[in-house]
């Protein structure tokens, strides 16, 4: 008898659910996730509800702090030494909100002369002498502070060590992007002593174990 439906997955979540879960952990709303992946808000709500049931989590907030990693991710294969000393690395990225990503991309590239790295929809990235400038479009871009992203070698170890030191994280380490060469971008956001957001980030390459 031929089995109908989608083939079973050997992971706790399906690929589509993992994608939605990562966006939730990044802090995006259901409408923002729907716009990002080109589906309806109801479809995203359906995925979120299934994810919470599968993981046995009571709320969306608990999902943001869930530390699961998808099977086969480069981070899951990275060697992990819990005795390693945790050190905050150099600043790897600075983010800024803009109201018009196309106009901002042109201005930073053509007026300031910054090397343009890549653009994904309403996100644009530039190189500032080794530090990445991240521009994101929002309807209500504020004049507030930028977010500093500190590079770390092992984001799981750094997350655990900083939490143990009393740092309040807004979310668990989560996958932001996978480049064509397989390199993964992982981030986790936390608060400074005055409640302002900061982040740790790590690039993990396939076969880095």
Domains of the chain, residue spans: 15-66, 77-204
Q: Shortest CA distance to 20 belongs to which of 1, 3, 10, 34?
A: 34
161's tokens: 């060590």
Global pTM reads 0.78
Helix (H) or strand (E) holding 191: strand 184-191
CB 172 within 8 A of CB 132: no
pLDDT of 144 reads: 57
80's tokens: 């992990």
pLDDT of 139 reads: 77
Q: Shortest CA distance to 102 belongs to which of 119, 77, 117?
A: 119
pLDDT of 3 reads: 46
% of the chain exceeding 90 in pLDDT: 62
Residues 90-126 pLDDT 10s: 999 999 888 899 999 999 999 989 999 999 888 999 9
Q: Shortest CA distance to 22 belongs to which of 1, 37, 3?
A: 37
CATH 3.40.50.2300 fits 77-204, yes or no: no
CB 198 within 8 A of CB 146: no
CATH 1.10.10.10 fits 15-66, yes or no: yes
């Amino acid at each position: 008898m031929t089995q109908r439906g989608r083939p079973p997955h050997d992971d706790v979540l399906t690929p589509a659910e993992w994608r939605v879960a990562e966006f939730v952990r990044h802090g995006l709303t259901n409408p923002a996730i729907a716009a990002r992946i080109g589906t309806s808000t109801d479809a995203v709500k359906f995925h979120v509800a299934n994810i919470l049931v599968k993981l046995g989590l009571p709320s969306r907030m608990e999902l943001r702090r869930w530390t699961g990693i998808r099977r086969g991710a480069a981070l899951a294969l990275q060697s992990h030494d819990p005795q390693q000393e945790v050190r905050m690395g150099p600043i790897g990225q600075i983010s800024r909100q803009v109201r018009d990503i196309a106009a901002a991309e042109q201005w930073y590239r053509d007026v300031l002369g910054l090397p343009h790295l890549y653009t994904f929809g309403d996100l644009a990235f530039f190189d500032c002498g080794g530090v990445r400038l991240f521009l994101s479009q929002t309807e209500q871009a504020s004049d507030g502070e930028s977010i500093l992203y500190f590079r770390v070698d092992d984001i799981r170890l750094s997350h655990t060590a900083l939490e143990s030191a009393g740092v309040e994280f807004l979310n668990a380490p989560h996958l932001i992007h996978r480049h064509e060469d397989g390199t993964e971008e992982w981030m986790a956001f936390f608060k400074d002593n005055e409640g302002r957001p900061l982040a740790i980030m790590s690039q993990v390459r396939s076969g880095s174990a």
